[in-house]
Amino acid sequence: MLDPQTIEKIADELVEAGRTRTPVALLHTRYEGMDIEDSYAVQKLWASRLEAQGKRVVGRKIGLTSKAMQAATGITEPDYGVIFDDMVLGNAAVVEWKRYTHPRIEVELAFRLSQDLKGPGVTLFDVLDATDYVVPALEILDSRIEMQGRTIVDTISDNAAMGAMVVGGRPVRPHDVDLRWVSALLYQNQEIVETGVAAGVLNHPASGVAWLADKLAQHGQSLRAGDLVLAGSFTRPMWVYEGDTVFADYGPLGTVTCRFA
């Protein structure tokens, strides 16, 4: 376990990295013995620094919930991060590409909660009962820590690589659709690049939210009514570049798009 002074030093380093858009060196290579709990402590302090600047927490993201994402990163367990109000973008958003470091896109479903969810012991059915609606979303991955050679320690400290999210398509009640079978086609500049089915997220995207509620409980936190939760990607991350247009077709749930300028 790292001492509080080291945790504070790392959190402040990541705040500065986000401001300058200059990724810092890998943490696990610089801090021998740094573990997952250290990483969540760094993330929590980093988030509190941004809250002190006036940003507001509006939800959570879950990462690395699918085999596709775990294979793409070499990391074999889920993680979570914080969503701030300025990270939530509307459909057809024009996104400033230079605002992010190494931006990539993932295809996901977002859950809007109507009730609190507090672990431990939260089930998939608890999540469905506590959800107001589910809606298509694209996650924009960002990086405040260098990419090559990252471990779970680096990813968690880096707010699970959360950059922003684009919300669109058609919201649906969770019991009106078999969420396992929600599928998406991901296009980059009119060319199809990725496809996926939401069952890739722990066999049901609501299972990711249940995992999150239980994991937060270990850190004395919980999900709240009104929170927006990104349940995890069911495609591999797609690199995007300045000038790219991204379009995701969720079939009956509609489409989500954005352009990087």
pLDDT score, position 72: 62
Q: What is the mean pLDDT of residues 195-224?
A: 95
What pLDDT, on a 0 to 100 scale, did the predictor assign at position 133?
98
Alpha-carbon torsion angle 99, 104, 107, 108, nearest 10: -60
Confidence of residue 3 (pLDDT cuts 50, 70, 90): very high
Q: Report percent pLDDT > 90 for the chain.
A: 90
Q: Where are the domains of the chain?
A: 56-260
Phi-psi region of 179 (alpha: psi -120 to 50; beta: other; left: phi over 0): alpha
Name the CATH architecture for the domain at 56-260. Alpha-Beta Complex (3.90)
Given a cut of 90, whether residue 248 has pLDDT beyond it is yes
Instruction: Find out whether 185 and 248 touch, Cβ atoms under 8 Å.
Output: yes
Q: What is the pLDDT of residue 1?
A: 86
pLDDT at residue 62 in the model: 95
Average pLDDT, the chain: 95
pLDDT digits (tens, 9 = 90+) for 139-149: 999 999 998 99
Q: Encode 52-84: b = buried (16+ Cβ within 10 Å), e = exposed.
A: eeeeebbbbbbbbbbebbeebbebeebbbbbbb
The pLDDT-based confidence of 106 (bands split at 50, 70, 90) is: very high
For residue 64, give every residue at least 6 positions away whose Cβ sits within 8 Å of its Cβ, in sequence order, or none: 70, 73, 75, 76, 77, 78, 79, 155, 160, 232
CB 78 within 8 A of CB 65: yes
**0.75 cut: is pTM over it?**
yes
User: Does residue 178 register a pLDDT over 80?
Assistant: yes
